[in-house]
Chains A and B, each alone.
Chain A
Amino acid sequence: KAGVTQTPRYLIKTRGQQVTLSCSPISGHRSVSWYQQTPGQGLQFLFEYFSETQRNKGNFPGRFSGRQFSNSRSEMNVSTLELGDSALYLCASSLEGKGAVDGYTFGSGTRLTVV
């Protein structure tokens, strides 16, 4: 079956611009989480969506936002980009069946470079 698909793979933006990243989870998976990976801070949790509702949120400024659609696809948006937003953004999906604790399947990520 198809894995988690993130688009685009690479992105170059200018400071002050905004950007939207997309994540298509594995078919049937209802939970989508987003992570930021940088050399200095490692992997940091941004937010998680489950059935179109934000269920968890990390410690990022309000410039970072997300949403989930009825087909479980998710987008994250970063407004007013800063140089420090340059990172690999990873999306992960999980089945989240009742009573189960599933592993998370990650996409290949979107490499965002802010110049």
Chain B
Amino acid sequence: AQSVAQPEDQVNVAEGNPLTVKCTYSVSGNPYLFWYVQYPNRGLQFLLKYITGDNLVKGSYGFEAEFNKSQTSFHLKKPSALVSDSALYFCAVRVHGGGKLIFGQGTELSVKP
């Protein structure tokens, strides 16, 4: 069965420091991976995706993610965190053959001044 795990419920970072939000996946075949961010009482905003090609994917708002096939990971990173980055982050994998996304449980990112 395909699944996504985000091992940390919460990540705390000081403003200006680098941040990492972890994601591991389990899929059959080549994975299609996504990161989304959710602000309170809002829907999900697309950050970036990995389909194929370069393992380092650049996305919106200065975020990037590194695909590691051997470790089945797709960690989200940002070199310098902002207080406005504080939100709930979701990693997701797309099921092949359709428009179904399987989400991780989410990681609450808190960036303090």
Quick check: is B80 within 8 A (CB to CB) of the other chain? no
Are B44 and A106 interface neighbours, CB within 8 A? yes
Shortest B12–chain A CB gap in Å is 20
Report A-chain residues with C-beta under 8 Å of the C-beta of B104. Answer: 42
Quick check: is A24 within 8 A (CB to CB) of the other chain? no
Closest to B47 in A: A103
Are B98 and A108 interface neighbours, CB within 8 A? no
**26 A-B residue pairings within 8 Å (CB atoms):** A6-B43, A31-B99, A33-B100, A42-B103, A43-B106, A45-B100, A45-B101, A45-B102, A56-B98, A56-B99, A56-B100, A90-B44, A92-B44, A92-B99, A92-B101, A101-B32, A101-B94, A103-B34, A103-B49, A104-B34, A104-B101, A105-B46, A106-B36, A106-B43, A106-B44, A109-B43
Are B51 and A101 interface neighbours, CB within 8 A? yes
What string of 1s and 0s marks CB contacts (under 8 Å) between A99-115 and chain B? Answer: 00101111111010000
Report B-chain residues with C-beta under 8 Å of the C-beta of A103. Answer: 34, 46, 49
Closest 7 CB pairs of A and B: A106-B43, A43-B103, A106-B44, A56-B98, A48-B99, A103-B46, A56-B100
Among candidates B44, B51, B90, B100, residue contacting A58 with C-beta atoms closer than 8 Å:
B100
Majority secondary structure, A binding face: strand
How many angstroms between the C-alpha atoms of A55 and B96 in the bound complex?
12
Shortest B14–chain A CB gap in Å is 27
Quick check: is A96 within 8 A (CB to CB) of the other chain? yes
Majority secondary structure, B binding face: strand
Closest to B44 in A: A106
Closest to B46 in A: A103
Among candidates B43, B98, B100, B102, residue contacting A90 with C-beta atoms closer than 8 Å:
B43
| A106 and B45 contact, Cβ closer than 8 Å, known pairs A43-B90, A101-B94 | yes
What string of 1s and 0s marks CB contacts (under 8 Å) between A74-115 and chain B? Answer: 000000000000000010101010000101111111010000
| A48 and B98 contact, Cβ closer than 8 Å, known pairs A105-B46, A106-B36 | yes
Are A55 and B99 interface neighbours, CB within 8 A? yes
